[in-house]
């Protein structure tokens, strides 16, 4: 299926690794020119190399998405490089894991900046360009935790829900010029899952790494965690005019885990 993304410009935040990276690669495979960003220059350089040979061009920039000045510079650089901005995909690394009573007030504030304000700052800066596009879109990568809480992830469970509310609101306010959707991934085989399993090992929740992976796949009818490319393909579709009548939607990419 041709997604008609050739020559479009996209900005994907937190895209030097994980689901943001998979989404950026999927967009570039469909011909979109993509800006990726991250804080680690070595990881960012490795991510940039993955785009070699793809149809779309890539612009790789160091940025901290919890700094609104960095986000403003990202949007400006994307527009300067590609002549506009058609699609924004907001992604972010996961916050600290653990039970409620282990979390400090600072943890909650930092999680809010990371998961919510980074998206707010990005789409606010991008909106004039998205509105000027013939097919402007915002896709927010959140988590299935916005519908069903996950044990040991109180920050993700509590804070990510705000992004869904914002996206559903602007989907109505910005229609028909700009579409806004949310994807709800369950566990995918990313460095974030590796980190969470390792933290579980440290807390004594798992005896082996493999046991941790099996735990994350528990309750998924497909019997496994996801491949990041599977999430990326959904994000690319939602950005495309093939999804031109899809806005305000929350789309699970979870192997059937959600029951709600």
Q: Please tell me the predicted confidence (pLDDT) of residue 253.
A: 97
Residue 98 tokens, joined: 């653990």
User: Given a cut of 90, is residue 129 above it in pLDDT?
Assistant: yes
Provide CATH code, domain 9-186+226-246.
3.40.50.720
* Three-class SS state of 16: coil
- In which residue are the tokens 């894991």 written? 97
User: Mean pLDDT across the chain, nearest whole number?
Assistant: 95
Q: Please tell me the predicted confidence (pLDDT) of residue 97.
A: 86
User: Given a cut of 90, is residue 260 above it in pLDDT?
Assistant: no
Q: Please tell me the predicted confidence (pLDDT) of residue 240.
A: 98
pLDDT tens digit sequence for 38-93? 999 999 999 999 999 999 999 999 999 999 999 999 999 999 999 999 999 999 98
The DSSP bridge partners found for residue 88 are: 11, 138
Question: What mean pLDDT is predicted for residues 134-155?
Answer: 94
Give percent above pLDDT 70 in the chain. 100
DSSP 245: T
pLDDT tens digit sequence for 208-225? 988 998 898 988 999 989
Least confident of 40-44, 90-94, 166-170, 187-191: 187-191
Q: Please tell me the predicted confidence (pLDDT) of residue 132.
A: 98
Sorted by where each begins, the domain ranges of the chain are 9-186+226-246, 188-223
Question: What mean pLDDT is predicted for residues 191-210?
Answer: 87
pLDDT tens digit sequence for 227-245? 999 999 999 999 999 999 9
Q: Please tell me the predicted confidence (pLDDT) of residue 67.
A: 98
Query: How many residues comprise the chain?
Result: 260
* Cα angle value 145/148/154 (rounded, 5°): 55
Residue 193: band (very low, low, confident or very high) from pLDDT cuts 50, 70, 90: confident
Q: Please tell me the predicted confidence (pLDDT) of residue 27.
A: 98
What is the model's pTM? 0.92
Question: What mean pLDDT is predicted for residues 188-213?
Answer: 88
Q: Please tell me the predicted confidence (pLDDT) of residue 93.
A: 86
CB burial of 55-94 (b: ≥16 within 10 Å; e: otherwise) equals ebbbbbbebebbebebbebbbebbbebbebbbbbbbbbbb
Report yes or no: 116 and 162 within 8 Å, Cβ to Cβ.
yes
């Amino acid at each position: 299926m041709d997604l008609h993304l050739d020559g479009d410009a996209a900005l994907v935040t937190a895209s030097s690794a994980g689901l943001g990276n998979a989404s950026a690669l999927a967009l570039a495979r469909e011909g979109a020119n993509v800006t990726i960003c991250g804080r680690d220059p070595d990881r960012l350089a490795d991510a940039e190399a993955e785009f070699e040979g793809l149809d779309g061009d890539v612009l790789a920039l160091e940025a901290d998405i919890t700094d609104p000045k960095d986000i403003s510079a990202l949007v400006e650089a994307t527009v300067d490089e590609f002549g506009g901005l058609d699609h924004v995909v907001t992604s972010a690394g996961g916050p600290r894991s653990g039970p409620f009573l282990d979390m400090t007030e600072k943890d909650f504030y930092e999680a809010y900046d990371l998961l919510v304000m980074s998206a707010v700052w990005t789409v606010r800066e991008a909106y004039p360009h998205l509105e000027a596009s013939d097919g402007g879109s915002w896709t927010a990568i959140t988590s299935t935790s916005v519908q069903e809480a996950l044990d040991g992830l109180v920050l993700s469970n509590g804070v990510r829900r705000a992004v869904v509310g914002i996206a559903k609101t602007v989907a109505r306010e910005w229609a028909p010029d700009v579409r806004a959707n949310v994807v709800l991934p369950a566990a995918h085989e990313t460095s974030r899952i590796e980190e969470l399993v390792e933290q579980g090992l440290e807390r004594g929740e798992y005896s082996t790494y493999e046991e941790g992976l099996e735990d994350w796949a528990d309750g998924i009818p497909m019997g496994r965690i996801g491949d990041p490319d599977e999430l990326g393909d959904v994000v690319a579709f939602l950005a495309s005019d093939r999804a031109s009548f899809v806005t305000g939607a929350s789309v699970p990419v979870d192997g059937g885990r959600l029951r709600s």
